[in-house]
Amino acid sequence: MKIIVSAPGKLMLFGEHGVVYGRPCIVTAVGQRMKATVELTEEPLFELKAPDVQVTNYKKAIEDCGVGEIPKGAKFVEVAVKNFLDKYPFGGGVKVETKSEFSSEFGFGSSSASTVCVIKALSELTGTKLSDKALFKLAYKTVLDIQGVASGFDVATAVYGGTLYYVTPGKVIEPLSIDSLPLIVGYSGVKADTVTLVNQVSKLAEKYPQVIENIYSQIEKLVEQAKVALLNKDWLTLGEIMNFNEGLLAILGVEGKKLSDMIYAARDAGAYGAKLSGAGGGDCMISLAPEESVKEVKAAITKAGGQVIDIEANVEGVRIENE
């Protein structure tokens, strides 16, 4: 029995960092997808091929899933299998092969997307009825088991797709009914280190608690206004909010020179606004621009050393590709 499941990548639109501390964020699912082919086997083995993250022929006894040294590229899939097995035991083994339509360097959430794919596939293959919320919970637990800190918005996006207003730990997962979002996306060429950056901001908050709380409150207000602007397709206001949000992220110290250069280049070329997307220091920046400036904005991002990535925003969540 074999199944192919896919889940979308994500881009944070507004509210990063604050979302770790209970503030809302807005995130969208992108058209580049993670695919997992999952098969139940007779031999009690866990087998994984994930060439995108340099895992070629990884094998171990299924009862040892999650135990001992796990190669970096195998962690999320292996712990996902372990967590599924702990909750919904079944006999035999599991063979997984993952293939991504996007680089794991982009910060599109490849780990969360593969975790969601594998749990969804196992639930289908074993006939375990899992609601979207139950799938989210088990996948989020997997990410937390590995990373320690994470707000889970990327897991929610992989499950539900679309564009979500999200409050951790899935307290609110509200799909925003929009039909388009003409984002311009630039990749910095640098991988953001989310855990380090979250810890860095948390240190800052220990020293300046009121200042940082205040920044989170301001970010929250921007997220609320962004929600309205998104629903109204008010790209000009959304661009302005991007600029405000970016300023607040700069105060948190997560902007980084490369992203900042790309963001300023986009603004100077006529964008309504631009900001980093995610933890900061690397990964991607996003921008919105009037139609007549899109070409110039893309060229400016490239000139600033970024790589423009064409994406479709607001796409479908996890789905079965075939059986």
Annotated catalytic sites, by residue?
154
Please compute Rg for the chain using Cα positions.
Answer: 20
Interaction with ligand MEV in 112-151: which residues (CB under 6 A)? Answer: 150-151
* CA–CA distance, 161 with 168 (Å, rounded to integer): 16
Smallest gap from Cβ 200 to ligand MEV, in A, equals 10
Smallest gap from Cβ 143 to ligand MEV, in A, equals 9
Distances (CA, A) of 14 to 26, 106, 119, 160: 5, 17, 28, 18
Torsion of CA 173, 273, 265, 199, to 10 degrees: -40
Is the Cα torsion angle 258, 263, 264, 268 positive or negative in sign?
A: positive
CA 171 to chain centre: 17
Residue 3 as a binder of ligand MEV (CB under 6 A): the answer is no
Nearer to ligand MEV, 132 or 193 (CB): 193
Residue 11 as a binder of ligand MEV (CB under 6 A): the answer is no
Smallest gap from Cβ 253 to ligand MEV, in A, equals 12
Smallest gap from Cβ 19 to ligand MEV, in A, equals 5
* CA–CA distance, 12 with 7 (Å, rounded to integer): 16
Total residues binding ligand MEV (CB under 6 A)? 12
Residue 256 as a binder of ligand MEV (CB under 6 A): the answer is no
End-to-end CA distance of the chain: 8
Tell me which H or E stretch contains 308: strand 307-309
Q: Which of 6, 100, 114, 194 binds ligand MEV (CB under 6 A)?
A: 194
Q: Which of 96, 279, 288, 309 binds ligand MEV (CB under 6 A)?
A: 279
Q: Which of 13, 17, 65, 94 binds ligand MEV (CB under 6 A)?
A: 17
Q: Which of 3, 19, 176, 304 binds ligand MEV (CB under 6 A)?
A: 19
Judge whether 269 and 293 are in contact, CB under 8 Å: yes
Torsion of CA 158, 160, 166, 171, to 10 degrees: -110
Q: Which of 7, 12, 135, 274 binds ligand MEV (CB under 6 A)?
A: 12
Judge whether 236 and 225 are in contact, CB under 8 Å: no
* Interface stretch with ligand MEV, choices 13-21, 64-72, 81-89, 123-131 (CB under 6 A): 13-21
Smallest gap from Cβ 16 to ligand MEV, in A, equals 4
* Interface stretch with ligand MEV, choices 9-17, 50-58, 229-237, 239-247 (CB under 6 A): 9-17
Residue 157 as a binder of ligand MEV (CB under 6 A): the answer is no
Residue 259 as a binder of ligand MEV (CB under 6 A): the answer is no
Nearer to ligand MEV, 93 or 107 (CB): 107
Tokens of 84: 């599924």
For 209, list phi and psi in degrees, rounded to 5. Answer: -60, -40
Residue 284 buriedness (CB in 10 A; 0-12 / 13-18 / 19+): buried
Nearer to ligand MEV, 184 or 279 (CB): 279
Smallest gap from Cβ 14 to ligand MEV, in A, equals 11
Smallest gap from Cβ 84 to ligand MEV, in A, equals 22
Q: Which of 6, 7, 8, 16 binds ligand MEV (CB under 6 A)?
A: 16
Nearer to ligand MEV, 20 or 74 (CB): 20
Residue 319: strand, helix, or coil = strand
Judge whether 112 and 29 are in contact, CB under 8 Å: no
For ligand MEV, the binding residues (CB under 6 A) are 12, 16-17, 19-20, 150-151, 153, 194, 198, 278-279
